[in-house]
């Protein structure tokens, strides 16, 4: 998994509107990248909505925000429109980005093992250096966790 001190990985993928998003576009800005397992599921909705509800505060702190999951563009668009998110959601169907960040891992649920996205938030400085990794994301307190120093 990406760690504090690591450089923002190069990536390019489509957002919920089918527009290309490139990691290079975020250099020069403080960036929050949060990975969630699946659009429109209870935990992911709680996390994304908490971040959206606190968007202005996060923006005042200078953060750019982007959510990423392996859902297709269509699912990201539905999720984005349903809740009116003020930040982009990236569709990583190829799992290229989740693998670069190291959040595609073996998970266990109800006695079954499977590969999936581990809910994780990464915070980068203006130079694209990772300054914080939040591994134990509290879905209903995601924004306050980001704002903790």
Give the torsion sign (CA, 133, 106, 93, 99).
positive
Contacts of 15 (CB under 8 A, 6+ apart): 21, 73, 76, 88, 89, 90, 91
Block residue for tokens 């209903």: 140
Dig out the tokens for 75 from the structure: 């699912």
Q: What's the chain's length in residues? A: 149
Q: Phi/psi at 24 (nearest 5 deg)?
A: -60, -25
Catalytic residues: 44
């Amino acid at each position: 998994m990406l760690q504090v001190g690591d450089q923002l990985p190069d990536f390019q993928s489509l957002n919920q509107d089918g527009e290309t998003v490139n990691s290079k576009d975020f250099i020069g800005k403080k960036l929050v990248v949060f990975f969630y397992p699946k659009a429109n599921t209870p935990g992911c909705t709680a996390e994304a909505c908490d971040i959206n509800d606190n968007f202005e505060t996060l923006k005042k702190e200078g953060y750019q925000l982007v959510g990423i999951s392996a859902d297709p563009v269509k699912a990201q668009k539905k999720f984005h429109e349903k809740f009116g998110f003020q930040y982009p959601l990236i569709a990583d169907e190829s799992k290229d980005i989740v693998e670069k960040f190291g959040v595609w891992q073996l998970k266990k649920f109800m006695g079954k093992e499977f590969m999936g996205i581990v809910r994780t938030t990464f915070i980068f400085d203006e130079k694209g250096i990772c300054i914080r990794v939040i591994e134990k994301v509290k879905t209903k307190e995601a924004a306050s966790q980001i704002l903790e120093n």
